[in-house]
Amino acid sequence: MNQLRVASSQPRSGTVSSHTIDEACLDAYQRELDYLMRTLRRLGVDPDDVEDLAQEVFLVLRRNWRQYDPTRALKPYLFGIAFRVAASHRRKRWHEVPLGIIDEPDRGPSPDRTVEANQARAIVLDALNRVPLKRRAVLVMHDLDEIPVQDVATTLSIPLFTVYSRLRKARRELEAAVTHIQRRSVIR
């Protein structure tokens, strides 16, 4: 269980290093911003809330930047923060989250994408939203971000066995959801 808290981070003795950390953190955030925003969408965050939650992720990232091991990949670490922020957001607003179909609006120009790809992405995102968050996180990390299962287990603080079982079930649920959405679109 996590909670959002506001705490002051007044500059301490190491002001110079703090500035460096700020820059490094901001640089990493800038590099992974697209990934982060897409991940938040995959985790079921409403498009209107993505920017706010990305900002929260950044603040958490900055706060914990000293604990981050730069020799390891940033994406799993970022995903872990995004997952906890999204879960916390979901807990706070669970009664407001629509359970129906969430359509994926096309945000911004994308001349190189085909209509078919856009539709397919919308279907996948819609289907992902039907998979419970815990299992969805495992599936997104492993099957979409191609993060090894060991790293998934470490990032989400769950046993390896649990990763496998969640992944297996999430795949089944995703497949069923995609089939359902396709059928529904055919009927329409």
Partner 1 sequence: MIGHGTSRTPPPLPPALEAWLAYEREIAPQPEMVRARALARAREALREGDVVFLAPRKAPAPVRRLLYATAAGLVLMAGTAAAYQMLRRPAPVPPPAEGHTQVVSAVAEPAPASAPAQQTALEPVAPAAPAVSPKASAPSRRTGVTAKNQARLEELRLLVRARQADARGDYLSVLSVLSEHERSFPTGRLSEEREVLRVKALVGLHRGGEARQVAANFRRQFPRSVLLHKIDDMLASLR
Residue 133 Cβ, how far from partner 1 at the closest point, in Å? 16
- Cα separations in angstroms, 93 against 39, 55, 126: 19, 18, 19
Q: Output the smallest distance, CB 141 to partner 1, in A.
A: 12
The backbone torsions φ and ψ at residue 92, rounded to the nearest 5 degrees and listed phi first, read -70, -30
Rounded Cα distance between 31 and 99, Å, is: 33
Residue with tokens 């992405």: 121
Residue type, 143: D
Instruction: Give whichever of 62 and 130 is closer to partner 1, judged by the CB atom.
Output: 62
The binding site for partner 1 (CB under 8 A) comprises 1-11, 22, 26, 29-30, 33-35, 37-38, 42, 51, 54-56, 58-60, 62-64, 81, 84-85, 88, 107-110, 113, 117, 120-121, 123-125, 127-128, 142-144, 146, 149-150, 160-161, 164-165, 167-168, 171, 174-175, 178
With beta carbons less than 8 A apart as the criterion, state whether 102 and 180 touch: no
Cβ 102 to partner 1, closest distance in Å? 15
* Shortest distance, position 132 Cβ to partner 1, whole Å: 17
Using DSSP, state whether 64 is helix, strand or coil: coil
